[in-house]
Amino acid sequence: MEVYEMEVKEIRIGDLCPATFINQKIDKIKESVRKGLAVNALSGGVDSSAVTVMGYIALGNRLKTYFIDTGLMREGEPQQVATYFEIMGIPIEIIDAQGRFFDALKGLTDPEEKREAITRTFYKDVFADLIRQSGARYLLQGTNYTDVEETVAGVKRQHNILEQLGINTEEQFGYRVIEPLVQLRKPAIREVAKALALPKAIYNRPPFPGPGLAIIVKGEVTPERVRIVRKATKIVEEVLSDTGAFQYLAILHEDKFTGVRQGKRDYGFQIEIRCWESADAKTGLPTRPSYDILDLLAEKIPTEVPGVVSVTYNITKKPPSTIEAE
Amino acid sequence: MEVYEMEVKEIRIGDLCPATFINQKIDKIKESVRKGLAVNALSGGVDSSAVTVMGYIALGNRLKTYFIDTGLMREGEPQQVATYFEIMGIPIEIIDAQGRFFDALKGLTDPEEKREAITRTFYKDVFADLIRQSGARYLLQGTNYTDVEETVAGVKRQHNILEQLGINTEEQFGYRVIEPLVQLRKPAIREVAKALALPKAIYNRPPFPGPGLAIIVKGEVTPERVRIVRKATKIVEEVLSDTGAFQYLAILHEDKFTGVRQGKRDYGFQIEIRCWESADAKTGLPTRPSYDILDLLAEKIPTEVPGVVSVTYNITKKPPSTIEAE
């Protein structure tokens, strides 16, 4: 039986009782997987974290949770996430797959091709191997309602919307996908995460692109370019974390700009900062930070991130912009 | 004899008496050109406009002033400038050289190569032809002190710094360059322009890159990309002209971004806006417009300029940024 209908119906936050929802979904996971084994990939975001806890409650040690280090994570992220789940007593395994992702991304500049390469590497290469080794036939995923909606509308391809696009994961990849959060948008998922007793650092964590830093690097994704955007991301998150914004990110552009250092020409990079006010990522307004905060960002980034000579702030709404860079 | 020393000495605005300066420079132009003929290229900026008036006072009809339409001008600019000078009774001739500039720029993406192509096309092709036809041996130019300084420092190649770089224009191009404003920075040149009774629209006009819209198009300069940045420039100038800023510009990036229109993916362009507080372009601070003004820009540009889905505002100082895009 299907865990969700192909026609996904949203549960609005006002109609959500987190405890009831969690119990129902845990029962459905049990019902689907029965005596089998399931796996899931934890990114540390609120969606995959909630799914991990629900899956672990439903299946105990019959759930195997992998944290796949794609090389596209924020600074210190793999260690941080491992620590949180260790404290909660949920076993997770870190898989170093950096080389495979950078190989797959080599030479690609189109954002759709990059997402596609990451999806394929994630599911078909790395994860399919892990599932084969584990013997599991079920994959738990944190797909949410906004992901589905945007994929159906053709705005962008989310990395985890295989079945909605008519891709039969069982046939193609050897496993079945279960998406317990597919009827909820982000704020509702935060309520679920809170009810699951996840740490605040997780349920209040601003969303971050699923394919990680690859999406906020324009042009080719190389280890060096990822290092640059990772440093800029750290600064942006430190400076903007107190603003209560829905999401904030640093984007490394491919365009280069003439700068000047010690009176000499320095042809370098530009970082674009986006900071959003949004309820659900469906629409968004750029926040209006004080110019002192923008000054601080424009001072710190070129000073602390090698090669950056220019910093801009996004002022466009979604639509016509999107939240993430691409 | 040289009209200026190779070691150019700045005249600071506090030490400048515009009337005395103008008389001295007019005498020097007379002394250099004697009974000969001179030409100059008028862009409509404050520098070349001041030089045109001084040259006309010195030489009368022995000065031939060309307005070269490079195809890289702002909207309506050739007509507007022609009208101003017609009213002042100074004859100018408009030369349509658009095809030659776009041919020279074809395939070029590096800003130094673009500047170089524009310099060569301007001086060696278009202007050298005009000089040959005119029989003139002297070229009057509006080079200012900041141009010299930045070229010497190696920050960027200004389009009119041939002699300072040891390029013998007489030998290579068949004419001699006279630069009456080379000791002055922009604010001092505005005083000179005011004393020459130039219209306020000229002496208060914000500086604009010499090589025109080519410099604010990242990547290849095509007629289509110039049309986009020209429309964005018009909006930025309309919205920001009352702010009293030193300079403001719109930059068309080469990077493309995912946008969304009518619920569908739209892969489009980004425009970066820069607006500067500066005395002399040597250093600069981004101005701090109200967010309502930024909202207006972010609303108008994607609506009115085809293909644009994203607008950013520069928040970096010079240094480490530069004023113009590149």
Q: Which residues of chain B have pLDDT under 50?
A: 1-6, 159, 161, 164-165
Question: For residue B256, what is the nearest residue in chain A, using CA coordinates?
Answer: A326
Q: Which two tokens stand for residue B234?
A: 């018009």
Q: Which residues of chain A have pLDDT under 50?
A: 1-6, 159, 161, 164-165
What's the pLDDT score for residue A159? 46
Cβ pair B253:A257 closer than 8 A = no
What's the pLDDT score for residue B4? 39
Q: Which residue from A270, A309, A268, A274 is spatially nearest to A294, judged by alpha carbons?
A: A274
In this predicted model, what pLDDT tens digit does every residue of A110-167 receive, in sequence order?
A: 888 998 899 889 888 888 788 888 888 898 999 898 888 876 665 555 545 455 445 5
- B46: part of which helix (H) or strand (E)? helix B46-59
Interface list for A 103-122 with B (CB within 8 A): 111
Grouping H, G, I as helix, E, B as strand and the rest as coil, residue B309 is strand
Name residue, tokens 């224009």: B169
**Does the CB of A315 have a partner CB in chain B at under 8 Å?**
yes
Q: Which two tokens stand for residue B18?
A: 């515009």
Q: Which of B154, B260, B316 sits opposite A298 (nearest CB)?
A: B316
Contact B142, B47 (CB under 8 A): yes
Question: For residue B301, what is the nearest residue in chain A, using CA coordinates?
Answer: A316
Q: Which residue from B295, B299, B290, B212 is spatially nearest to B251, judged by alpha carbons?
A: B212
**Does the CB of A254 have a partner CB in chain B at under 8 Å?**
yes
Q: Which residue from A94, A312, A104, A114 is spatially nearest to A218, judged by alpha carbons?
A: A114
Distance CA B230, CA B69 (A): 14
Residues on chain A touching B313 (C-beta within 8 angstroms): 312-313, 315
Distance CA A57, CA A197 (A): 12
Which residue type is seen at B2?
Answer: E
**Does the CB of A146 have a partner CB in chain B at under 8 Å?**
no
**Does the CB of A260 have a partner CB in chain B at under 8 Å?**
yes
Q: Which two tokens stand for residue A93?
A: 């395994």
> In whole angstroms, what separates CA A62 from the centre of its chain?
25
| Residues 6 or more apart in contact with residue A189 via CB below 8 angstroms | A46, A47, A50, A142, A144, A181
Q: What is the largest CA-CA distance in chain A?
A: 69
Q: Which of A154, A259, A288 sits opposite B320 (nearest CB)?
A: A259
Rounded to two decimals, the ipTM of the complex is: 0.77
Cα→Cα distances A322→A152, A246, A281, A285, B265, Å? 16, 14, 9, 10, 9
Residues on chain B touching A312 (C-beta within 8 angstroms): 272, 312-316
Q: β-strand B264-277 against B285-286: which pairing, if any?
A: antiparallel
SS (H, E, C) chain A: CCCCCCCCCCCCHHHCCHHHHHHHHHHHHHHHHCCCCEEEECCCCHHHHHHHHHHHHHHHHHEEEEEEECCCCCCCHHHHHHHHHHHHCCCEEEEECHHHHHHHHCCCCCHHHHHHHHHHHHHHHHHHHHHHHHCCCEEECCCCHHHHHHHHHCCCCCCCCCHHHCCCHHHHHCCEEECCCCCCCHHHHHHHHHHCCCCHHHHCCCCCCCCHHHHHECCCCCHHHHHHHHHHHHHHHHHHHHHCCCEEEEEEEEEEEEEEECCEEEEEEEEEEEEEECCCCCCEEECCCCHHHHHHHHHHHHHHCCCEEEEEEECCCECCECCCCC
Q: In the 8-state DSSP scheme, what is residue B123? A: I
Chain B closest CA to A197's CA: distance in Å?
36
